[in-house]
Structures are given as C-alpha cells and as structure tokens.
Structure 1
Amino acid sequence: MASSDDTTTTTTVAGKPSDIHESPTKPLLSTYIDEFHHHHSPPPSESSSSHYPTTITYNRHHSSRPIRDLPFLLLFILFIISTFAFGIFASINKNPNPPSSVSSFIYDIRTDSCIKTKHTVTFLNFLLRSHWNYILKNLILTVIVTLILSIPISLFLLFSLKHYAKQLVYISLPFFVIVPIFLDVYWFVACTINSTCSEKFPLGYRIMVLMFVFLVIGVIVWIFVVNWSRIELTVRIIRVSADALSNNLGLFGVLPVMILGLVGYFVPIVVFLVFARLNGEILPREKHGRIFCVWKQDSWVPAYYALAILTMLWSAAAMVEAQVYVISGTIAQWYFSKDDSRVKRSIRSSLRNAFGPSAGTICFSGLLIAIVRIVRGAVDTAANEDASGMINVVLRCCVNALLSAFEFLNKFTINFAAITGEAYCASARLTYELLRRNLLSAVIVEIVSTRLLAAIIFVLSAVYAIVVCVILNAATDLGVDSYFVAAVAFVVVLVILGFLVHVLDNVIDTVYICYAIDRDKGEVCKADVHEIYVHLPISRNHNPSYLNARTALLV
C-alpha cells in the first residue's frame, strides 16, 4: 500500500493513466492523481487543509468508534417501547365480544343497554374443489423447489459475473429482445386461437398491444445502441463488485437472517394491531327513530394504529440501512486489506458497529428515508387525484426537488458512515466534500450496470418460468393454470435475484467511496479497482455523451 508521502509520487509521467502502472515501484495512479490535481485543482492552503480531515480511512477498531446520533436511537427505542406497551395493554383490555358480534346484540329498554341474545351461528364451510386442491398442491411444490434452486442459481450468477461477466452480458443481450418478442407473439397467437380471449380482446386491441410491446422493445434496443461504448466499462465494474462479494459470501447468510429477524419483530406488532381493533364496546344508537346496537371503538385506538404503523415503517427503513451499513463495512475491510488477504470476522465487526456505536446513525437515516417515502407517496397520491391548478403543480415540483436533493446527499452517507464511523450529518458533509475535492460526482456512478443487471435477472427469471411452464404442461394436467404457477415461480426467482442485484449495487457504491478515499490520500489499495474506476466521469460535465446515455436510461 502506497502512501501519499512516498517520494516516488512526485515524479510526473506523460501519457494516459492506463500507462502509469509500468513502474512496479510506484503506486498505480499516484502520478496521474498528482498531474490531475496540478492541472485542475487550486493549490492547497492552510485554511482549506485544516478544514478537512487529513486522513479518511476505514476505522477498524470497535472501541475507537464513539456512539453517534444517540438522541435518534433513544427516540427509536421510545417508539418501540410505546408500541409494545400499548399493544400489551390492548391485548389485556380487549372486549371479548368482537365487532363482528354486533348482530347478536339487541337493545334492552329496561337496562338502556345492549344485551347479547342466544342465537345459533351457522358457519359456512367453503370446501375447495379437488381441482383447486390440485392447483394448490402443484403451486406449493413449485415454490419450494424454486426456493431450493434459487440458492445455486444465485451462486451461479455471482460466480459467472466474477469470471465470465463479459460472456454473460453479451449472451444475455440478445435475450433482452428475443424474450419480449417471443412472449408478445405467443400471447397474440394464443389469444387469437382462444375463443374466450378473442371475444374479450377484439383484433384491433390485440394489434395495438402487439405494436406497443414492439415499440418498447425498440426503445430498449435504442438504449443499448446509445450506451454501447459503456458496455465494456460496465462489465469490468460488475466483475469487480462480484469479486468483492464472492470474497464475502457470509453476507448471504447474514442479510437474510436480518430480514427474518425483522419479520419476527413485526409479528407481535401485527398481533397487537389485531387486538387493538377489539378495544371498544357495543352501545345503543338511535337512527331514524329506531335504536340499534353499534360498535364504538375506543378513542385511543386510531392513535395506536398510527404509532404502530410509523414504528413498523421506521423499523423497516432502519433495517434496510443496517443492511447497507453491514455490506459497506464488510466490503471496506476487504478493500483496505493488504495483499488480498482474507479479513477474519469482518461481518461480525460490521454487525457490532451497526448495532453498537452507529445504531443511532442507522436510526436517523432510517427515519429520514421513511419520511421521504411517506412524503413521496403522498405527493404521488395527490398527483393521481384531481389536484389541478398552478399552486398544486408548483408545490409538487418543490417537494420533488427537495426529495431529489435529499436523495442526492443521502446516496453515499451510510456507506461513508460504515467506513469511518462518523455521525450521519458529518458523513453526508464529508462525503460531499471528499467527492468534490477529488473532482468526482455523487450522482455519476456507472448506472448502466444497475440497468444491465436488472435486465439479466429479468431474462433469467423469464427463462426459468418458461422451463417451469413446459415441465408443468408435460408432467401435470393443470392446463391453462400452469401459466399462473409459472408466473408465481417467475416472481419468486425475480425477487431473490433482485436481492442479489441490490447487494451488488451497494458493493459498487462502497467500492466507489473506497476508491475516492484512496484517491484523496494518493494510495492504491486495490490496483484493479483503480484501473477501472479511473475511467468514470470525473465531474458532471466531463463526458456529455455519458450524460446523454444516462438521461436515456432514466427515461
């Protein structure tokens, strides 16, 4: 590992950055960085150097990380305690007569109250027909087999991206067009042959759907043509992230356990919500000159519903941020390790930091993310409703601008906090300053990789669903219902592989921040990473063609 004070870094070498690694005694990009800063950066001053930390690196020691953002951790614990305390009270104080039993109460004029009458309750037993039992049996069996096969499928995809990323990408590219065309033509022909479908969808509508899908396919082809120059760089970025993730496979054991822990944590809260609904009493109420017995809910129940739902939303957002924290901390230890040596207990250290000193930071980030999601959902709901008028349009634009600004600042905050152990606000500020003074952009990371990975898993899931459909048609008598079972299998595989892509995206972001830290210090911890990430745009206006491609992808 080279340091910024190495005497060899003062030598200037003319040529492209890719030619600098010829000398084995020099850091790979140190001369490029010095030359770049010499031409593009102002000379450092004492005021500017004292304003920023002199060294930003991974803080390995758990004991050296102070507790950050403690008030938000205490507030989160208060929400949890209040939710469970009022939930226990709701469970104990529930009315033995649920709201559904109101019909069995009548008004007693002598006691001026509602009394329960003797009645016979008839329960309708909805017995599933044998055909539906057969469908359910095959559906459960297919889902179980899919869950089992998803493990080798995910590992196959990961190691293929590590060793054969280029081949996998170029093999998958034709399927981005072939699979949608096949499904579109197959649906058109099947609907034309089937009398029921042809009656519901006249020929004109079928042709419109057919042409619309072909138009979407044309847009996909155009996007790939526009971004063809970025494919090679995308492949190399994906390969690096897959290599980093394959060296930390323990994450695939820890992250699902965290999700299962969140589900287990939600179970009692859901039970409390059910019991809270039973808190009330049956009272007489006059309507149109007659007195009926109605259910009156206790006044505190809606407030408890709001509290419990907010707690669940905050907990879910915090768990997502905790996963990002654990991924970032683990990958950072791999990145800053010497001589590609495997770091021991890296995941355990990241977990200890996430649920220890940085727990308040994760809670703070989760709270902000939850608020943004709620506000964005409210804005989208208002946009879908009849909310015309210039004022409403201006308000929606302002809110969307503020939310976009927050997402811009929040993009690498948790990654940076996992690496350094800083508080949330300090991490947001230091990340922005780190990228700014190294002329890197917080919004320009290789976005093509995310779109390409999403397209790959969609194609793999579609191929798997087609295979399942063929097997079901050959081995069972499901008939048309086999399409439904295959669709469920498609969704299951897509969700699992989507989780893999989500992890890879966070790995790419973490490696990007680690690369920025290396560049800031003039060091090279992972030479292969520098050889790839140095080709990314160094500013928002550095590569207009790339920005045009990114705009096309976002559209």
Structure 2
Amino acid sequence: MTQKGYVGVPEEPYRSKFTPEVGPYYGFEGEGTHAVPLQGIPLYQGEGNNQEGLKRFVVQGYKDVWAAILYILCILVTIGFGTYNTISQNFSDFISDSVVHLFWRCSDECCSVFLSVLFFVSSVSSVILSLFSLSLMKRFPHDMIITANLLFFAVCIVGFLLSILWGNLYLLLLCLGLFIVHWLCFTELRNRVPFAAELLKSSSTVVCNYKALCAVNAVLFGMFTLFLVLWCSAFSALSNVLSKQPDPSSGVSGKRGNSFLIISVFLLHLMLLFVMFWATQVTTNLMHVTTAGLTATWYFAGKENMPKNPTLASFKRGTTTSFGSICFGSLLVAIIRLIRWLVSTAEDSEHEILRCIFLCIIGCLESLMEYFNTYAFVHVAIYGCGYTEAAKMTWELCKRCSCAALFSCFFVDAMLCLFAVLSALLVCAVVCTAYGLVFDLSFGILHITAEIFVFSFGVCMLVHLFVFSSVTSAVTTLFVCYAEVPEGLEHSSPDLYAALQRTDQNGTSNGAAPPRV
C-alpha cells in the first residue's frame, strides 16, 4: 500500500501485528493494516501540534497502576524507617569506615575546602571531556568506533605481555580470551560498523542539542543518592539488631522470641535489599525512557519541527502515566537480582557445582531481561503503552532483527565504555599530579594519593554516565524507530533516512524503500 507523502514504499512493507501503522494515531489495537486509531490526549499540544509526526505521541491514561502504587509504598516505608533511624542516632554511625576515613577525619576548614575544590575540578574536567567526546562522535563516528576497537586490542596485548612478565596464568588466559573473542566479533560484524556509526552520529546530535537530558539524569541521581543514605540508615539499624542477638553456635540459649526476632529481621533485610534493587532499576529506566521519548520525537518530527520543551514532556509522561510500566518492568529484574544474591551468599553448600551452574544461568537471565527491557521501554516511551503491550512489540522485533540490534549496540556500547574509562583515568592522573605539585604531602588532609584517585575516578565516571547513558538510549531508540517505522524518518529527515537505508542494507529486515530522488 502507498501512503500520501511517501514515494516508492513497497506494496507489502513489514508490519507485525503489534507495530503501529505509519499514519498518526495508529497503534496496537487490532492487527496489520486494520489497526484502529489510538485514543488519548496529544502529548504535545499547542505549537507544533499540527505536525503529522507529533500526532502519534498521545497520553492514553495511567498504565500498570498497581506496580506504581506498590513501588511508592515500598519507597515511603524505607524513607520513613531510614529517617527515623537517622534522627535517633549519630549520622556517621552507619557510614562505612572508608567513607568516614575520607570525610569525618577532615574536621578542619581546610579539608572541607580541599574536598570541595577536588569535587569541582573533577566534575568540570569530566564535563569538558564528555562534551568534547560528543563533538568527536558527531564529526567522526566511524573513526571513533574503529579507534575504540584498536585501543581494546592494544589493551589486551599489553595485558598479555604483562601477564607473561609477571607469570600470572589467569591474567594471560583472560587477555588472550578477550582478544580472540573480540577479534572474531569485529571481523564478522565489521560490515555493521557504518550503520552503527550513523546511529551514533545522530544520537550524539540529539544529546548535544538537548543537554537538559544530562540535567534530568543528574537530578534523578541526586534523588537516588538521598534515598541511598536513608536506605543505609535503615539497613544499619537492622544489622545492629542482629549483632546484639546471641550466636546459636555459641551454645547460649535464648528465648523462643529471639528466633522469631531474628527471622523477622532477616526478612526485613531481604525486603530492604529488594527495594534497593528495585529503586536502582526504576531510576536508570526512568532516565532511559526520558531520553527515548525525546529521541523518538526528534525521529518522527524532525529537528526543524521539534515542539517546545520535549525533554520535559517526555520526563513528565515517564513520571506519571508511564511510571507504572517502568515499575513493572523494573520489578521483574529486581526479583531476579534478589534470587541471584540469595544464591551467591549461600554458605556451606553441599552442591557447589550445581550452585555455580545456577548462578551462571540466573546471571544470564538477568542480563537478558535487562537487555529486553531496554527495547521494551522504548515502546513505552514512544506509544505510552503498558509494559505487557511493550513486551509483545519487543518480542516481535527480537524475532525479526535481534541480531542487527545486538551488533549495532555492540560497537557503540564498547566504544562509550572504553572512552569513559580512559577519560576518567586522564582526569584522575591530572588531578593527582596537580595535587602532588601544589600540596605538601604532610598537609594532613588526604595524604594518600590513592584516595584522591578513587574519589576523582568516581566523580568522573558518574559525569560520563549521565552523558553517555543518554547516547546509548538514543541509539537504541533510533534503531527501534527505524526498524519498525522507516517511513517516518523518510518524511522527517530524508538525508538521515538515505544514510541508514544505505548502510543497513536491509539488515533490520524492515523493507525500507530506496530514498526518494
């Protein structure tokens, strides 16, 4: 079928029964070409609402409300318990010794100033490096991917030589195995590098043009950090209760109530761990959904027809109508992670081999579930659907072009990870060198340079996480949009459509027509 405004579209383009039609307001109620229009309030109202590409973004109401309510209740209970414990005891009692060693021993004003300067310098340097990396990705995406792979090979070779010099057999086997596996993957998948480079170039453009994404990520991380402090307080209180109970192996007899108390505290421990795993997933997935919503808007509307405050609109939908879907998908991963933690911490196992096999299986299941959620939440961000509908659409996509998605993400993720680590190491080296030149080592503040290195490295990795995680989410979103609705890009950005259609070579099996002449 041929739609108005599109030339050269195949007579029977690919359409799964869950994939929305090319036309606006069409969604997943029905099958094939008989899908009925989506009902809902337009997400982008007012200026730009007459653009055809924006009409597919609608608010259909709250989805998976039960998951959102359950998550909010768990968070409120944890915050309440943590706040009460924080008020009732000294704040530094539940902070680990390493953190106390880094901060609480620095009671004078000079130390506070020094730590503030260290944090500021590390943050600013990381922001500059991350923005510089983004500019390189925009201009030389193909060269960046190739350079990252060559650097990885160089690291493996250096590690291999050092393992021979040190006589470390385990390091030798690790470096050799990584080199062989990466070499095989690179040689077999090098034909997908141009397609991945085009996705990386466009994603870097989106992140550079809408730096509010990084601000949203920073705000969400700040809120998560505050929650983490209160969570540590609650967890510390339960640990103190357990430490005061007599050890059963010591032969000290206790009352029957002690056993009930120990079991209750242990279950509360598990509950707190589960809440932590769940909150971690929800925070990262909310960042992902916000970026995915913005990128999809850019894909369908085009850079010239973008509405006002698209980042805020995407974040608003992620924290309201789509929040339940995010909680639902995150809940599944949190359950798997809790099971994995229980198995990994089990002691005195009589079947150690079976335990290791089960840990391997559950670890693979956790990774697959997280990878699946990455694409499912893109559908949530685009169409505002529930998690179940998004999972069905993602499964249809995986059956058709899962390998193409995996290959494209392989090059981009490896490059981003490597450059993030190298940038963090560069900043740490500069900071430590400057500290050694400017400050006397007997200054009494942080006389161990390793502490400065770890502190700076952590700050740098966090800053790069805010920036590069948005790039990864944008790459995933562009792939999903192009794999399912290539005609939308042909209408909004013909040049990008031509580049993706040429480099993809129908690797996504989406039946994309040749670009219009």
Q: By how many angstroms is 1:473 displaced? A: 5.0
Question: Is 1:413–2:376 an aligned residue pair?
Answer: yes
Q: By how many angstroms is 1:423 displaced? A: 0.5
Q: CA 1:4 to 1:518, structure 2 compared with 1: closer, same or farther past 3 Å?
A: farther
Whole-Å separation in 2 of the counterparts to 1:225 and 1:521: 32
Contiguous gaps of at least 5 residues in structure 2: 16-20, 22-29, 46-57, 94-100, 511-517
Show CA shifts across 1:172-204 (max 9, x none).
56544566777898x89xxxxxxxxxxxxxx97
Whole-Å separation in 2 of the counterparts to 1:34 and 1:439: 25
Contiguous gaps of at least 5 residues in structure 1: 10-25, 39-43, 100-124, 189-202, 543-555
Q: CA 1:451 to 1:291, structure 2 compared with 1: closer, same or farther past 3 Å?
A: closer
Whole-Å separation in 2 of the counterparts to 1:67 and 1:213: 48
After TM superposition, list the pairs within 5 Å mapping 1:197-236 onto structure 2: 205-206=166-167, 215=176, 219=180, 224=186, 227-236=189-198
Show CA shifts across 1:470-502 (max 9, x none).
545555565995466445534442343244322
Whole-Å separation in 2 of the counterparts to 1:155 and 1:83: 37
The match for 1:256 is 218
After TM superposition, list the pairs within 5 Å mapping 1:383-462 onto structure 2: 387-388=351-352, 399=362, 403=366, 406-407=369-370, 409-433=372-396, 443-462=406-425
Q: CA 1:264 to 1:531, structure 2 compared with 1: closer, same or farther past 3 Å?
A: same
State whether residues 244 and 331 of structure 1, in contact with CA within 8 Å, keep that contact through their aligned partners in structure 2: yes
Q: CA 1:388 to 1:35, structure 2 compared with 1: closer, same or farther past 3 Å?
A: same
Q: By how many angstroms is 1:253 displaced? A: 0.9
The match for 2:3 is 5
Question: Is 1:507–2:470 an aligned residue pair?
Answer: no
Q: By how many angstroms is 1:171 displaced? A: 5.5
The match for 2:138 is 162
The match for 1:115 is none
Whole-Å separation in 2 of the counterparts to 1:272 and 1:288: 28
Question: Is 1:320–2:284 an aligned residue pair?
Answer: yes
Whole-Å separation in 2 of the counterparts to 1:55 and 1:437: 25
Q: By how many angstroms is 1:353 displaced? A: 0.8
Show CA shifts across 1:125-162 (max 9, x none).
9xx999xx999997775444212211111111112211
Structure 1 letter corresponding to 2:32: S
Whole-Å separation in 2 of the counterparts to 1:381 and 1:247: 46
The match for 1:311 is 275
- TM-score of the aligned structures, taking structure 1 as reference length: 0.66
Whole-Å separation in 1 of the counterparts to 2:249 and 2:368: 53
Q: By how many angstroms is 1:424 displaced? A: 0.4
SS in structure 2 at match of 1:5: coil
Q: By how many angstroms is 1:291 displaced? A: 11
After TM superposition, list the pairs within 5 Å mapping 1:268-287 onto structure 2: 268-275=230-237
Q: Which moved more, 1:367-376 or 1:518-527?
A: 518-527
State whether residues 159 and 172 of structure 2, in contact with CA within 8 Å, keep that contact through their aligned partners in structure 1: no
Structure 1 letter corresponding to 2:481: C
Structure 2 letter corresponding to 1:238: L
Structure 2 letter corresponding to 1:248: Y
Whole-Å separation in 2 of the counterparts to 1:277 and 1:487: 27
State whether residues 166 and 235 of structure 1, in contact with CA within 8 Å, keep that contact through their aligned partners in structure 2: yes
| 1:332 equivalent among 278, 282, 296 | 296
Whole-Å separation in 1 of the counterparts to 2:89 and 2:210: 52
Q: By how many angstroms is 1:335 displaced? A: 1.7
The match for 1:357 is 321
SS in structure 2 at match of 1:336: helix
The match for 2:96 is none
The match for 1:266 is 228
| 1:69 equivalent among 64, 80, 84 | 64
State whether residues 40 and 59 of structure 2, in contact with CA within 8 Å, keep that contact through their aligned partners in structure 1: no
Whole-Å separation in 2 of the counterparts to 1:354 and 1:278: 38
Whole-Å separation in 1 of the counterparts to 2:480 and 2:113: 49
Q: CA RMSD in A?
A: 5.2
SS in structure 1 at match of 2:298: helix
State whether residues 325 and 418 of structure 1, in contact with CA within 8 Å, keep that contact through their aligned partners in structure 2: yes
Q: By how many angstroms is 1:264 displaced? A: 1.9
Structure 2 letter corresponding to 1:71: W
State whether residues 145 and 411 of structure 2, in contact with CA within 8 Å, keep that contact through their aligned partners in structure 1: no
Identity among equivalent pairs (%): 19
Q: By how many angstroms is 1:321 displaced? A: 1.4
Structure 1 letter corresponding to 2:477: T
Q: By how many angstroms is 1:401 displaced? A: 6.8
Whole-Å separation in 2 of the counterparts to 1:282 and 1:347: 50
Q: CA 1:284 to 1:436, structure 2 compared with 1: closer, same or farther past 3 Å?
A: closer
Q: CA 1:86 to 1:442, structure 2 compared with 1: closer, same or farther past 3 Å?
A: same
- TM-score of the aligned structures, taking structure 2 as reference length: 0.70
| 2:204 equivalent among 242, 245, 249 | 242
Rg comparison, structure with higher value: 1
Whole-Å separation in 2 of the counterparts to 1:213 and 1:437: 34
Question: Is 1:49–2:9 an aligned residue pair?
Answer: no
Q: CA 1:428 to 1:52, structure 2 compared with 1: closer, same or farther past 3 Å?
A: farther
Whole-Å separation in 2 of the counterparts to 1:224 and 1:287: 55
After TM superposition, list the pairs within 5 Å mapping 1:290-301 onto structure 2: 299=261, 300-301=264-265
Q: CA 1:177 to 1:371, structure 2 compared with 1: closer, same or farther past 3 Å?
A: same
Q: By how many angstroms is 1:430 displaced? A: 2.4
SS in structure 2 at match of 1:515: helix
| 2:43 equivalent among 60, 68, 73 | 60
The match for 1:530 is 497
SS in structure 1 at match of 2:492: coil
Q: CA 1:447 to 1:298, structure 2 compared with 1: closer, same or farther past 3 Å?
A: same
Q: By how many angstroms is 1:258 displaced? A: 0.9
The match for 2:98 is none
Q: By how many angstroms is 1:400 displaced? A: 6.0
Whole-Å separation in 2 of the counterparts to 1:56 and 1:511: 25
User: How many residue pairs are counted as aligned between the two chains?
Assistant: 463
State whether residues 441 and 538 of structure 1, in contact with CA within 8 Å, keep that contact through their aligned partners in structure 2: no
SS in structure 1 at match of 2:63: coil
Q: By how many angstroms is 1:468 displaced? A: 4.1
Question: Is 1:148–2:148 an aligned residue pair?
Answer: no
Whole-Å separation in 2 of the counterparts to 1:482 and 1:50: 65
| 1:366 equivalent among 330, 334, 340 | 330
State whether residues 282 and 296 of structure 1, in contact with CA within 8 Å, keep that contact through their aligned partners in structure 2: no
Q: Which moved more, 1:216-225 or 1:154-163?
A: 216-225
Q: CA 1:168 to 1:330, structure 2 compared with 1: closer, same or farther past 3 Å?
A: same
Structure 1 letter corresponding to 2:382: I
State whether residues 274 and 338 of structure 2, in contact with CA within 8 Å, keep that contact through their aligned partners in structure 1: no
